[in-house]
Amino acid sequence: MADREKILRYFRSSGDEQTAAKLLDLAESANKSRKFKVSDFLDPHIRKIAEIVAANYDNIRIETDGGFLNAERVKVAFIAEDFQVKLDFGIACFAIVWDKRYYRLSHRDILGAFMGTGCKREALGDIVITNVGAQIVTDTAIAGYLVNNLLKIGATPVTLKKIGQDDLLQKEEKVKIIKVTVAELRLDAVAAVGYGISRSRMNDAIKDLNVRINWQDVKKPAQHIQEGDIISFSRRGRVEVAEICGTTKKGRISIVLKRYV
């Protein structure tokens, strides 16, 4: 049996104690029932917490499913080691269709409309824009409700059509490579050049909690940035610190960023 209090202490300093407690409840329930328990849709940061929680149990393994083959948001199943029955992750898949001749919708528009129905963010997986509309995955518990209530996105009439998981498309992301130099590896400096805005404006965004690193909230513009970090800016996508190349003759730091657009 895992040491629950020890695990919670480990996550206390990062502010993830409550999240870890919920995941511990799932792991302990799976352990007692000798079956499995499935989480809501988790972002990559919380997924790592789930992996750490599961690693503290000798007889619990985890599997993930986010519908899409390369899903960012996934459900995590905590499974008793001797449970061999096929899992039901409780995922419903939809195509969202609208008249693209007259309306243009973005990931942000669809997410906003979903939240506007009163559904929790945790009940929605990834959103993928396609040539004819969009595809989403949700928790099956809200599938019927969405079909009856997500009828418009803004002023755009839409139709939800249930599809099979095999019909989901591979996510395609456009990447812009940015090679720049910065005076120091501070969040505000790196994020400002990554998103093409002023450092003072980025400072304000960070203080307003609109910027995250590796899917975690940050409050300090001076937070140190490392190679491999993922910076996300509300409504502006993600920037990955792909490479830190070294120092130039003028003492600046050369970096390579990937901007996902």
Query: What pLDDT does 1 receive?
Result: 60
Higher-scoring residue by pLDDT: 70, 18: 18
Angle at 172 between CA 168 and CA 178, to 5 degrees: 160
> What residue has token string 């599961």?
54
Low-confidence winner among 66-75, 167-176, 230-239 (lowest mean pLDDT): 167-176
- Rounded Cα gap, residues 256 and 194, in angstroms: 9
Residue 163, helix vs strand vs coil = strand
Closest CA to 42 of 153, 109, 130, 139: 139
- pLDDT tens digit sequence for 120-135: 999 999 999 988 899 9
What's the whole-model pTM score? 0.83
Contact 240, 258 (CB under 8 A): yes
Going by pLDDT thresholds of 50, 70 and 90, the confidence category of residue 237 is confident
Q: What's at 135, amino acid-wise?
A: Q
Strand 74-80: give its sheet, edge to edge: 36-42, 74-80, 60-65
What is residue 131's DSSP assignment? S
- Rounded Cα gap, residues 112 and 108, in angstroms: 6
Closest CA to 231 of 220, 209, 216: 216
Cα-Cα-Cα-Cα torsion 40, 61, 54, 92, nearest 10 degrees, comes to: -10
Rounded to an integer, the average pLDDT of 191-206 is: 95
Say whether pLDDT at 250 is over 80: yes
Helix (H) or strand (E) holding 97: strand 91-97
- Rounded Cα gap, residues 30 and 66, in angstroms: 20
Gyration radius of the chain's alpha carbons: 21
Low-confidence winner among 52-56, 116-120, 174-178 (lowest mean pLDDT): 174-178
- pLDDT tens digit sequence for 138-197: 999 999 999 999 999 999 999 999 999 999 998 777 789 999 999 999 999 999 999 999
Rounded to an integer, the average pLDDT of 35-41 is: 97
Say whether pLDDT at 97 is over 70: yes
Share of the chain above pLDDT 70, in %: 100
Which token pair is 101?
């001749």
